[in-house]
Each structure stands twice: as structure tokens, then as C-alpha cells.
Amino acid sequence: IAGITQAPTSQILAAGRRMTLRCTQDMRHNAMYWYRQDLGLGLRLIHYSNTAGTTGKGEVPDGYSVSRANTDDFPLTLASAVPSQTSVYFCASSDSTGGGANVLTFGAGSRLTVL
Amino acid sequence: GQNIDQPTEMTATEGAIVQINCTYQTSGFNGLFWYQQHAGEAPTFLSYNVLDGLEEKGRFSSFLSRSKGYSYLLLKELQMKDSASYLCAVRDRNYQLIWGAGTKLIIKP
């Protein structure tokens, strides 16, 4: 593993089903993030975690939950998927949460289609 | 509300220079970022500006004017591999990133 690994790469899901997108990083970054990317819109933050054991809500948290049991893993769960959650999901991490060039490293993305 | 504006799409010729503009209105300012995203791939970091002026990094330069809420990314000696989307993002007073929708750059031979 080098950087951030996301799984699955893509998934087609029936509405109402539960789905967990996995994210693992090996850089020992403190902060992790989940974004969704939709055509014509900027990346939108779903949830974030500044450090293991803590999580926070982003801009579009409804219908999603996260956990951060350790530094490396940050899974995103859709409890009951709806078609509006069809999107490309990116997990990202950064070394810190403050100022400076706090660069985000992104995973390759998970393309989710909810029918 | 907070807003980042970028052109949706631009076309340029291989070997030429292109300037991609970004204007922003945010609650506070703690830095501006440019990321590159090839189709179907993850965004990757290009540049960071927090003070006014020009930051140069090889063929890419980024400019910031905080008083005007304006930045641009300048790409010189364009190569076909520069065909990608370029994302502008501003970190607001709460250190949250606000992202523009991205500018799709098409390079023609």
C-alpha cells in the first residue's frame, strides 16, 4: 500500500441497501476526509476526522456515517442508499488540520451507482 | 454564501500558454490551492498561495490577489498530458476547504 487505498473501485447498488466504502492510508496522517464529486459541482465534504477517535460533519453529511477507530482506517457507510447518492466518492488525508500548505492526498475514488 | 468561480472549459494549443482564472467569495481566507485532476483519477496537488503574488514551480505558476479575491494558474509550454481538470480551492476562516467545480482544459495538437 502506498498512500490511500479505497474499495470498492466501483459498485452498483439497489436503493435501500446498506453500503460501506473502505479507506485505508499508510502515511500516518492525522486527518482524513470523505468527499463526493458530482458533475458540475465542486468537491463536497461529507465527513471528516481530525484525529483517531473523533469525527465531524461536513457540508453534506445526511445519509452517511463514518467511524475512525484507528489512524489508518476511515470507512464511510450509507445506511440506506438512495439514487441521489450516486456519485464518485474520494477519501483523502492530510498531515495536519491547521494552516500552512496542508496538502490533501486523495485515494483513487469509488464510483457508486444507486438504482 | 461561499462561492468559487472558474470557467467550465478552456481549449489551448500544445506548446502555448494558458491562464485559468479563479475568483472567490469566502468567509475568511487561509490559503488558496490548485489541484490537477485527470479524467477518472484522483486530484493531485499543484500549488498553494497564502500571500499576494506569484508562486512559480516549473511550467506552472499560481498568482493570488487577496484584495480582489482572485487567483490564476498559468501553464506554460503546454503538453498533451496537461489535458485535465484544474480545481481551485480556498480554505476559509474555519480551515475548511471550499472547492470550485473545476476547469476542464483541452489541449489540441
pLDDT digits (tens, 9 = 90+) for A41-98: 989 999 999 999 999 999 999 999 999 999 999 999 999 999 999 999 999 999 876 6
Our measurement of the distance from residue B37's CA atom to the centroid of its chain's CA atoms, rounded to an integer in Å, reads: 11
Our measurement of the distance from residue A26's CA atom to the centroid of its chain's CA atoms, rounded to an integer in Å, reads: 16
Interface contact flag, A104 B95, Cβ < 8 Å: no
Instruction: With beta carbons less than 8 A apart as the criterion, state whether A13 and A74 touch.
Output: no
Q: Cβ contacts (< 8 Å) between B42 and chain A: which residues?
A: 90, 106-109
Interface contact flag, A109 B101, Cβ < 8 Å: no
For the segment A25-47, the average pLDDT, to the nearest whole number, is 95
Which residues of chain B are modeled with pLDDT < 50? none
Average pLDDT, whole number, for chain B? 96
Query: What integer pLDDT is reported at residue A20 of this predicted model?
Result: 98
Helix (H, G, I), strand (E, B) or coil at A85: helix
For the segment A19-35, the average pLDDT, to the nearest whole number, is 96
Bridging pattern class, strands B84-91 and B32-37: antiparallel
Q: How far apart are CA B31 and CA B59, in angstroms?
A: 21
Query: What integer pLDDT is reported at residue B41 of this predicted model?
Result: 95
Query: What integer pLDDT is reported at residue B29 of this predicted model?
Result: 94
Q: Which one, of A104, A33, A49, lies nearest residue B89 by Cα?
A: A104
Instruction: With beta carbons less than 8 A apart as the criterion, state whether B79 and B63 touch.
Output: no
Query: What integer pLDDT is reported at residue B62 of this predicted model?
Result: 98
Is the per-residue pLDDT at A1 higher than 60?
no
Query: What integer pLDDT is reported at residue A98 of this predicted model?
Result: 65
Is the per-residue pLDDT at A103 higher than 60?
yes
- For A42-58, what is each residue's pLDDT tens digit? 899 999 999 999 999 99
- The distance of A38 to chain B (nearest Cα, Å) reads 9
Is the per-residue pLDDT at A100 higher than 80?
no
Tally of CB atoms within 10 A around B73: 25
Query: What integer pLDDT is reported at residue B1 of this predicted model?
Result: 75
Interface contact flag, B96 A104, Cβ < 8 Å: no
Query: What integer pLDDT is reported at residue A101 of this predicted model?
Result: 72
Backbone CA torsion sign across B58, B18, A39, A100:
positive
Q: Cβ contacts (< 8 Å) between B96 and chain A: which residues?
A: 45, 58
Instruction: With beta carbons less than 8 A apart as the criterion, state whether B71 and B49 touch.
Output: yes
Q: Cβ contacts (< 8 Å) between B102 and chain A: which residues?
A: 42
